[in-house]
Amino acid sequence: MRDFIEALEERVLVCDGAMGTMLYAKGVFINKSFDALNLTQPELVGEVHREYVRAGADVIETNTFGANRIKLGSFGLADRLHEINEQGARIARQAARDPFDGAQGRHAYVAGAIGPLGVRIEPWGKIGVDEAREYFREQAQALADGGVDLFILETFRDLNEIGAAIDAVRLVSDRPIVAQMTTEEDGNTLDGTPPERFTPDLESRGATLIGLNCAVGPAPMLDTIERMAAVTSRTLSAQPNAGQPRDVEGRNIYLCSPEYMASYARRFVLHNVRLVGGCCGTTPEHIRQMKAAVGASASAVARAASDGGTASAEQPVSAKRRTVEPPAVRPVEGPLARESKSRLAHAMAQGNFVVAVELLPPRGHQTGQMVERARRLKAGGVDVVTIADDRRVGARLSALALAVLIEQQAGVETLLQYASRERNLIGIQSDLLGAHAMGLRNLLLVTGDPGRVGDYPDATAVLDVDSIGLTNVASRLNRGCDVGGQAFGVPTAFHLGVSVNPTADNLDEELRRFEYKVEAGAEFVVTRPVFDLGRFDQFLKRIAHARLPVVAGLFPFESARNAEFMANEVPGSAVPEALLDRMRRVDGGDAAAEGIRIAREIAGELKGRVQGLQVSTQSGDIEAVLALLDGLH
């Protein structure tokens, strides 16, 4: 076979279309591992490949988009990774070489398909770039062993992740790499990175072809391709969906006709696209029509070039870099000094001891009682009111809204606990910018409890980033950049706190994550409730090098049952047996008072060890909180 790169220089190559939607149309349910069909139903996978080859595809992709260790692991198939990928390459190779009527002697190239891992990597997730590179390397090695001619990295949203994939492929092979991002209709990736940034980035990372696939139809993809062509001379690729899907009786139906897709294939060629195909919803008939369209377009271009004619509507954009440059970004101010961010930040910077009390947003929308509680806490000497982000139980007011109202109406500064769970990355960014615009400055960034705990166990869960990624998001905003790396002007001035559990069941893992949070930009620490001072001292020694202010959690027991619940049913909560015995001996009318006495004793011990206390209760009883605080002054 002629070298793939030489073939691209001679003509436009047509890639195949959708594999997943074709398999779905043939009766494979979406809850199965499509990649595992390489082992269980190889004839079905081969049939789809052959249909595309017969339609004229020059390149067919292996059925391995999700065949990495993490995605296969969700089906219990991680140990069969090499077998699934190698077999996927062999099935495609056989289909590419099978002769058929009217096409004897014409073989297709086989591209090893590699998709994202399905989990966030640093700085947004807990998977390191080196770990991601190893996951991609083992998949790339298996595909190389299967004999692929090139690699297609597709449907990526994160430049760090696709960069790890490119590096991984280069560790095992020097075959061509097609690196494709997925964008929204505005041309930015799903994480907000514009084409003017990701295009040169992929070029510098060594991608052979740079392109787009999935998420959008041909019209918006063409707009983005035009922007990419303006900032690179590298050959491009385009594989749009067959438009946006429409739900018809529970099925996603893609409505773009083969003729419509073919008309845009011709337009792609005018902008230095030399590999064109389709993604979700495209069929062999779409590819057949696209093949005819780009063949005619390429012939017209060749004739014009040989005649020395000038550029026309049917001629491609020159391969030379055009003079259009990415939009200029207004320089931004530097990050605000920590002590200027908020009263809490100033107090901590000065080494002052601070007291916080946690309030839980109410059910419904009535806030008068919560505002009055905040006023009483302020009068009782509380420095800041922490607003818990608890969306597990019933219809509760958002923590963000309550924090704004309390600052405006009670005149006390708040610490907004903000959880990443049930929010995607773009929504998180919007929330935080909105919080800053409304005057909130102190954030306590947490992952949040699993969504299945609460009144709605069937509610769907979202965990786009964890607390480490969340801290990175807020830290970027403090440097005047969004998650896509674009500067937006004046930086935010958030005072960033993180949570840590000093008595976690796996303290080594808890501290490893803490180190990542510090690296991401954490400025202070709020701990889970402290009951065991001996274990807490060990914890303090292990984080002393971070030199961050520590606010220790304090929880007054309300009854013996409450104490036993904390000891036995709250993960990572260590309650010494001596404290349980004290609560059992006075269970009844004096239990709450004993709980306050215990909390006051713990607080007295903690005051010499930490820079603040955060008091929380199970019922939100501020009378108990005020009684506890009265004993501390």
SS (H, E, C) 274-285: EEECCCCCCCHH
64 CB-near residues (< 8 Å, 6+ apart): 35, 38, 84, 85, 88, 89, 112, 113, 114, 139, 143
pLDDT (tens digit per residue) in 580-621: 999 999 876 689 899 999 999 999 999 989 999 999 987 777
Split at pLDDT 50, 70, 90, the class of 99 is: low
Please give the average per-residue pLDDT across 94-109, as a whole number.
Answer: 70
User: 66: pLDDT confidence band, cut at 50, 70 and 90?
Assistant: very high
For the chain, give the percent of residues with pLDDT over 70. 87
Mean pLDDT of the chain: 87
Instruction: Give Cβ neighbours of residue 476 (< 8 Å, ≥ 6 apart).
Output: 482, 483
The predicted model gives 452-466 an average pLDDT of 54
| Model pLDDT, residue 362 | 87
Residues of the chain with CATH 3.20.20.330: 4-307
The topology under which CATH files domain 338-630 is TIM Barrel (3.20.20)
pLDDT at 303: 45
In sign, the C-alpha dihedral spanning 8, 294, 109, 66 is positive
Q: What is the pTM of this model?
A: 0.78
CB atoms within 10 A of CB 328: 6
SS3 (DSSP) at 73: helix
Position 167 scores a pLDDT of 97
| Secondary structure class of 69 (helix, strand, coil) | helix
pLDDT tens track for 498-524:
999 999 989 999 999 999 999 999 999
Domain boundaries for CATH 3.20.20.220 within the chain: 338-630
User: Does residue 253 or residue 72 have the better pLDDT?
Assistant: 72
pLDDT at 312: 38
Of the pLDDT bands very low, low, confident and very high (cuts 50, 70, 90), residue 572 is confident
Q: Decide if pLDDT at 368 tops 70.
A: yes
Domain over 4-307 is classified CATH 3.40.50.300: no
The answer, yes or no, to whether residue 293 has pLDDT greater than 60, is yes
The DSSP element (H or E) to which 585 belongs, if any, is helix 577-585
Q: Output the DSSP codes for 519-580.
A: HHT--EEEEEEP--HHHHHHHHHHHGGG---EEEEE----SHHHHHHHHHTSTT----HHHH
Q: How far apart are CA 4 and CA 150, in angstroms?
A: 8
Cβ atoms within 10 Å of 537's Cβ, excluding its own: 12
Nearest to 6 by CA among 58, 56, 67: 58
Which pLDDT score is estimated for 507? 93
Is residue 514 within 8 Å of 543, Cβ to Cβ?
Answer: yes
Tell me the two tokens of residue 273.
Answer: 């696209």
pLDDT tier, 310 (very low <50, low <70, confident <90, very high otherwise): very low
Q: How many Å apart are CA 464 and CA 470, to the nearest integer? A: 10
Half-sphere exposure of 315 (CA within 13 A, CB side): 14
CA nearest 51: which of 304, 313, 306, 287? 287
Residue 298 has pLDDT above 80, yes or no: no
Q: What is the pLDDT averaged over residues 83-106?
A: 80
Other CB atoms closer than 10 Å to residue 35's CB: what's the count? 28
Unique residue bearing structure tokens 């200029």: 328
